[in-house]
Amino acid sequence: MEFLNKYRFNGKKRLFLFLGIINFLITNFFLHMALLFFPILFSTILSQTINFLLGFYLYGKKVFKIKKLTRRNLRNYLFLALSILNINFFSILLLSSIGINKNLAAIYVVPFLVIISYFVQNNLIFSKKEQNSFRDVK
């Protein structure tokens, strides 16, 4: 029973989800606006860059309350973002190969990506222990 109490939705998890939705809406606003004026490749790179930088700031400062974001945090967050991108791609590919519509597959994968992202950020990227045990290398 203590295991369930440890992982219940507390304020930090709700804030993570709320700010994730905000990040998603802002990112998609910029994506759709850019698509009106620019090629798809540039528009998607722009929106993903906004998503990355906004997410790094919001999650690091507002959710996990890190006083000073370091290059180590940034590097690890970039690695997570690229990993999530790959997991997303290959999961959709796998699910669609077994007959699941690719749009539905993309929706099915989202909750797992959010859970992975939260736990990696909480325990590795923005962990208080990580902040106290390592200094930013200049």
Query: Is-above-0.75 flag for pTM?
Result: yes
- The token pair at 54 is 């906004």
How far is residue 99 from each of residues 19, 78, 85, 93, 96, measured CA to CA in Å? 33, 32, 21, 10, 5
Average pLDDT score over residue span 96-125: 93
- The pLDDT of 97-118, averaged and rounded, is 92
- Residues 6 and 119 sit within 8 Å (Cβ to Cβ): no
SS3 content of the chain, % helix, strand, coil (to 5): 80, 0, 20
Give percent of the chain above pLDDT 70: 86
Residue pLDDT, tens place only, 17-36: 999 999 999 999 999 999 99
Please tell me the predicted confidence (pLDDT) of residue 62: 94
Average pLDDT over all residues of the chain: 87
Q: Which residue spans within 1-138 are E strands per DSSP?
A: none
Provide the residue ranges of all domains of the chain, joining segments of one domain with +.
2-132
Residue range 118-137, pLDDT digits in tens: 999 999 999 876 555 555 44
Retrieve residue 6's tokens: 């440890």
Distance CA 34, CA 54 (A): 17
